[in-house]
Amino acid sequence: MVHDHDIGFLRCTARAGNVDPARQLDWARAYVQVAVLRAHVMRDLSARTESKAPGPEGSLTKLLGTRTEQMLHHVAMDLAASAPLVGIQPDVLAAYLYSRAASIAGGTSEVQRTIVAEHLLHLPRWR
């Protein structure tokens, strides 16, 4: 799950160190991806307040959330350099490793993509 303190950590780390332009671009992409995820979740929650039953669209939320979480924590690991690997920032390493497991928890990304393909895009079932 993406938290505001994750974004704050990245922002502080990027500002505090000598971060090259490529890493700054990675941070910006992660930041935008989090904003997209938030907007998507807010739209999804609005549908729930209108008594719309959950459907296969939840698979899109799961895929977007997993992708965003993995991108965010990959950038955090990159910005922290070797610190998480030598025990200086164990929370960064733990969050990164958990983000990898997120693609399995609640249904693998492959299963979620199949749901999207069959139920939202109405593509033929793969056999």
- Report whether pLDDT(17) > 70: no
State the pLDDT at residue 90.
Answer: 92
Where b means 16+ CB within 10 Å and e means fewer, 39-72 reads ebeeeeeeeeeeeeeeeebebbbbbbbbbbbbbb
| Closest residue by Cα to residue 3 from 28, 29, 34, 27 | 34
Of 13-22, 36-45, 60-69, 94-103, minimum mean pLDDT range: 13-22
The model's pLDDT over 58-67, given as tens digits with 9 standing for 90+, comes to 888 899 999 9
pTM of the model: 0.79
Categorize the per-residue pLDDT at 36 as very low, low, confident or very high, splitting at 50, 70 and 90: very high
Q: Please name each of the domains of the chain with its CATH number.
A: 4-120 (1.20.140.10)
Euclidean distance between CA atoms 30 and 52, whole angstroms: 30
